[in-house]
Amino acid sequence: MIRLILCSDLHGDPVKYECIADAAKRESSDLICCAGDMVDDASNRAGQTRYVADFIKGSKTPWAICSGNHDFDCDQDEALPVVPNWLHGIGEVEDGQTNLVGELVVTTIPWPVAKDVAYRRLVDKIVNAGMELSEKYQRLIIVHSPPNACRVGGGHISYRAELTTEIIEKAKPDFLLCGHLHAAVFCEYGSWCEMIEGTSEGFKALCFNAGQTEIGKPPQYVVLDIANTGGWKADHSHF
């Protein structure tokens, strides 16, 4: 059994980071998974990136992280890197990597700043890196944008959603964590958990989006237990 804390869109908020760390300690979590927007681009970007990088590197619970649209410095003149430089060297599973954590294959997919053709080639490379392991172990994909027309996206998130749908079809994960939609109460127009059927016969992926609250308020998160035998249990939690 492996226990995960699933979250997203912490936007550089110390309140949310401290709460997630407390939740991981309280739940005896093996891994914290964050689906992008680690910082916010509204103000003090340099201070946010230093804080988040130091916080994750000093965390007693390891993190698996992917980049979101807010994690890139859109004011810089030069071409954006595929993976934000400040995210290097801070996580158990870093942006664009595949690692085996216990008996779970964890793959993180960067936010698509590259052109679609180049991005799809990058995704193929990342996904293929874990295909052999995923034949033996269950697989979790972490990506910022929800898939097309799904309840974990509120049914209306469309920007880059088609790319996430393609990722699911290529990787055929058992579990997918996304973010991007800031919904404090999912029951109004969406869901924090949804089983999505792929086009391949018999293929299903269990998708999660914890949603998020306003800056300065305690975050929402999901506690996910995954058994080696294939069983799972999940609870949507908040402080």
Closest CA to 197 of 231, 135, 150: 150
Average pLDDT over residues 98-127: 90
Q: At what angle do helices 45-57 and 14-26 cross, to 10 degrees?
A: 10
pLDDT single digits (tens) 88-106:
899 999 999 999 999 999 9
Question: What's the confidence (pLDDT) of residue 186?
Answer: 53
Question: What's the confidence (pLDDT) of residue 183?
Answer: 67
With a cut of 90, say whether residue 228 has pLDDT above it.
no
Question: What's the confidence (pLDDT) of residue 189?
Answer: 60
pLDDT single digits (tens) 183-213:
655 555 678 899 988 777 678 899 999 988 8
Q: Which domain covers residue 36, as residue numbers?
A: 2-238
CATH number of the domain to which 232 belongs: 3.60.21.10
Spatial strand order of the sheet with 220-226 comes to 63-66, 31-35, 2-7, 220-226, 232-238
How many domains does one find in the chain?
1
